[in-house]
Amino acid sequence: MALIVQKYGGTSVGDVERIQRVAQRVATTRRQGHDVVVVVSAMSGETNRLTALAQEISPRPDPRELDVLLSTGEQVTIALLAMALQAQGQPARSFTGAQVRILTDAAHTKARIQAIDQAPIREQLTQGRVVVVAGFQGVDENGNITTLGRGGSDTTAVALAAALGADECQIYTDVDGVYTTDPRVEPKARRLDSVTYEEMLEMASLGAKVLQIRSVEFASKYNVPLRVLSSFEDGPGTLITSEDQVMEKPLISGIAFNRDEAKLTVMGVPDQPGVASRILGPIGQANIEVDMIIQNVGADGTTDFTFTVHRNDYPRALEVLRGVAESLGAREISGDDRIVKVSLVGVGMRSHAGIAGRMFDALAKEGINIRMISTSEIKISVVVDEKYLELAVRTLHEAFELEKAPAQLT
């Protein structure tokens, strides 16, 4: 008998019929003799609907109240799923984040889980019940409801699996695994049987929203075997695990992309020490996170400085830069919020040269202009115009033959 944590995303609990189907899947796992803890998201579209309601009242709603509002979506689905399980003769009980005491810090809308009290869950399991826990939410030490950021139910599930020492954490969603790239952009994308925590973390950080970044961090830190599967059909899914357990080590495991990027350039600043910090200091003070950074080689005593931010922060970042342009002695501030980042990810890259060249060559042949480049040991990212996103993803998918099963590295 194993202990299994199953998480069902918004589409999987999108209507009553689907909730009943989830209940069947859960009950089947229970009948096989396993203890089951289920984490559910809000019904699809619900978190967006609630966010839009808040926006109608205030462009920047009070984060504490926003969390009270957003957490209601998951409270609806836990109750409905518990009812559906009971209707099928399977004893079950629902719990909000606060009830199982998923303790988080107080950073509303992006809280981090600090501790989970496993006693109430264990007690229910001992009594033969399925435990249904609301994803995406917790409670801070003062009893305020918090939420974990978009996609946070994945993190609830993995954190619960880690706390309970579960045998597997299964993430049921609307695709049947992790693919070489988003199958909605490249229909020829191939499902991966397994992928390393490190690669998955990189893919999630670079925009693959199939798993929340924090959930992969948790899984890696506590060595939780994590599997992404379809809630609509049976299949093996994709196992996310440590490098020594992964048999395939392809050169490139996948292509991730991020549509939420914008870039800003400060032109003609004096080429002297302290410029970067005088540009990025005020950006940091405005709570704007910076992603890629490029500073040109100076010419005529001046240089250009370019960086990217989340597209939502673009207007504010532009405002901040315009405010400091004069004191920086900058000639001009410019920006572009119609850019995207496309990245190749793979641990196999570590030991192979020439990948960047092959990537740039493939993009050049399609006339795609690269605006920025950044690399690390296991990824290469390029910034290109938004209109080239699909073409760039498909071009790279083909250039690196990702539709084919990988040749083993020797």
Phi, psi of 306 (to 5 degrees): -125, 140
Q: Which does 179 bind (CB under 5 to 8 A by kind): ligand ADP, Mg ion, ligand ASP, none?
A: ligand ADP
Cβ distance to ligand ASP smaller for residue 90 or 153: 153
Cβ distance to ligand ADP smaller for residue 65 or 174: 174
- Does residue 151 interact with Mg ion by CB under 5 A? yes
Shortest spacing between CB 174 and ligand ADP, in angstroms: 5
Cβ distance to ligand ASP smaller for residue 49 or 350: 49
Phi, psi of 316 (to 5 degrees): -65, -40
Shortest spacing between CB 40 and ligand ADP, in angstroms: 10
Shortest spacing between CB 343 and ligand ASP, in angstroms: 22
Q: Which does 116 bind (CB under 5 to 8 A by kind): ligand ASP, ligand ADP, Mg ion, none?
A: none
CA distance 42 to 136: 9
CA distance 27 to 29: 5
The single residue listed with the structure tokens 């049976």 is 234
User: What secondary structure letter does DSSP report for 406?
Assistant: P
> Which of 273, 167, 158 lies closest to 213, judged by CA?
158
Write out the residues near ligand ASP by the rule CB under 6 A.
9-10, 41-42, 47, 73, 135-136, 150-154
Write out the residues near ligand ADP by the rule CB under 6 A.
9-12, 41, 151, 173-175, 178-179, 181-182, 184, 208-210, 254
* Span interacting with Mg ion, options 151-159, 263-271, 376-384, 388-396, rule CB under 5 A: 151-159
CA distance 300 to 63: 47
Cβ distance to ligand ASP smaller for residue 34 or 150: 150
Kind of pairing between the strands at 3-8 and 102-104: unpaired
Q: Is the dihedral of CA 395, 399, 403, 409 positive or negative?
A: negative
Cβ distance to ligand ADP smaller for residue 161 or 275: 161
> Which of 293, 284, 304 lies closest to 263, judged by CA?
293
Cβ distance to ligand ADP smaller for residue 179 or 305: 179
What single-letter amino acid sits at 133?
A: V
81: how many CB neighbours lie within 10 A of its CB? Answer: 23
Closest residue to ligand ADP: CB criterion: 9
Give the distance, in angstroms, between the CA of residue 99 and the centroid of all CA atoms in the same chain: 26
Shortest spacing between CB 224 and ligand ADP, in angstroms: 17
Cβ distance to Mg ion smaller for residue 9 or 335: 9
Q: Which does 178 bind (CB under 5 to 8 A by kind): Mg ion, ligand ASP, ligand ADP, none?
A: ligand ADP
Shortest spacing between CB 308 and ligand ASP, in angstroms: 23
CA distance 325 to 334: 11
Instruction: Give the torsion through C-alpha atoms of 294, 297, 300, 305, to 10 deg.
Output: 0
Shortest spacing between CB 41 and ligand ASP, in angstroms: 3
- Does residue 135 interact with Mg ion by CB under 5 A? no
Given a contact cutoff of 8 angstroms between Cβ atoms, the answer to whether 51 and 28 are in contact is no
Query: Where on the chain is the footprint of Mg ion (CB under 5 A)?
Result: 9, 151
